[in-house]
Chain A
Amino acid sequence: MSEESENNHIVLEARGVTKHFAVRRNARDLVARTRRTVHAVDDASLELRRGTVTALVGESGSGKSTVARLLAQLYPLTSGEIHLNGQPVKAGRGRSFRSYVRRVQLIFQDPFASLNPVHTVRYHLTRSLKIHDRAGNGEAELEQNLTALLNRVQLTPPHQYLDKFPHELSGGQRQRVAIARALGADPQVLLADEPVSMLDVSIRLGVLNLLKDLKDRLHLAILYITHDIASARYFADTTLVMYAGRIVEGGDSETVTQRPAHPYTQLLIASAPHPDRSGAEEEPEENGTGEPPSLIDPPAGCRFHPRCPQAMERCRTELPPRFDLADGQWAACWLYDGTGTARTDDHQKEAAK
Chain B
Amino acid sequence: MSEPVLTISGLNVDYGTGADAVYALRDIDLTLHRGEVLGLAGESGSGKSTLAYAVTRLLSPPGVITGGQVHYHQRDGRALDLLALSAAELRAFRWQELSIVFQGAMNSLNPVYTVHNQLTDVLQAHRPEMKKADRTARARELLSLVGISPDRLGAYPHQLSGGMRQRVMIAMALALEPEIVIMDEPTTALDVVMQRQILRQLVRLREELGFSVVFITHDISLLIEFSDRIAIMYGGRIVEQAGASEIYRDPRHPYSAGLLHSFPALHGPRRELSGIPGSPPHLSSMPSGCAFHPRCAKKVEGCDTHVPVLAAPDADGSRSVACWLHHEAPAPAARA
Tell me if A75 is interfacial: C-beta within 8 Å of chain B.
Answer: no
Known: A201-B263, A202-B259, A206-B277. A273 touches B270 (CB 8 A): no
Using CB atoms, name the residue of chain B closest to A229: B266
Tell me if B196 is interfacial: C-beta within 8 Å of chain A.
Answer: yes
Binds B, one of A7-15, A16-24, A168-176, A340-348: A168-176
Chain A nearest Cβ from B158, distance in angstroms: 14
Known: A170-B279, A234-B273. A275 touches B262 (CB 8 A): no
- Report Cα–Cα, A234/B249, bound state, in Å: 21
- Report Cα–Cα, A140/B263, bound state, in Å: 42
Q: Could you count the A-B residue pairs with CB atoms below 8 Å apart for me: how many are there? A: 111
Kindly supply a per-residue 1/0 record for chain B positions 87-125, scoring 1 wherever the CB is within 8 Å of any chain A CB and 0 otherwise: 000000000000000000000000000000000000000
Contact residues in B for A201 (Cβ distance below 8 Å): 43, 218-220, 259, 262-263
Among candidates B161, B245, B275, residue contacting A209 with C-beta atoms closer than 8 Å: B275
Interface size on B, residues (CB 8 A): 43
Tell me if A267 is interfacial: C-beta within 8 Å of chain B.
Answer: yes
Q: Which residues, 16 to 62 on B, are CB-close (under 8 Å) to A?
A: 43-44
Known: A200-B43, A204-B262, A233-B270. A227 touches B191 (CB 8 A): yes
Q: Contact check, B266 vs A289: say whether CB atoms are below 8 A apart.
A: no
Contact residues in B for A173 (Cβ distance below 8 Å): 279
Q: Contact check, A203 vs B276: say whether CB atoms are below 8 A apart.
A: yes
Kindly supply a per-residue 1/0 record for chain B positions 211-254, scoring 1 wherever the CB is within 8 Å of any chain A CB and 0 otherwise: 00000001111101110000000000000000011001000000
Among candidates B163, B219, B244, B280, residue contacting A202 with C-beta atoms closer than 8 Å: B280
Tell me if B289 is interfacial: C-beta within 8 Å of chain A.
Answer: no
Contact residues in A for B220 (Cβ distance below 8 Å): 201
Tell me if B288 is interfacial: C-beta within 8 Å of chain A.
Answer: no
Chain B nearest Cβ from A313, distance in angstroms: 25
Name the prevailing secondary structure of the A interface residues.
helix
Tell me if B133 is interfacial: C-beta within 8 Å of chain A.
Answer: no
Using CB atoms, name the residue of chain A closest to B203: A283
Tell me if A94 is interfacial: C-beta within 8 Å of chain B.
Answer: no
Known: A202-B262, A209-B275, A283-B200. A275 touches B219 (CB 8 A): no
Contact residues in A for B196 (Cβ distance below 8 Å): 270-271
Chain B nearest Cβ from A231, distance in angstroms: 5
Q: Contact check, B192 vs A271: say whether CB atoms are below 8 A apart.
A: yes
Q: Contact check, A171 vs B222: say whether CB atoms are below 8 A apart.
A: no
B: which residues have CB within 8 A of A?
Answer: 43-44, 161, 163, 191-197, 200, 218-222, 224-226, 244-245, 248, 258-259, 261-268, 270, 273-280, 295
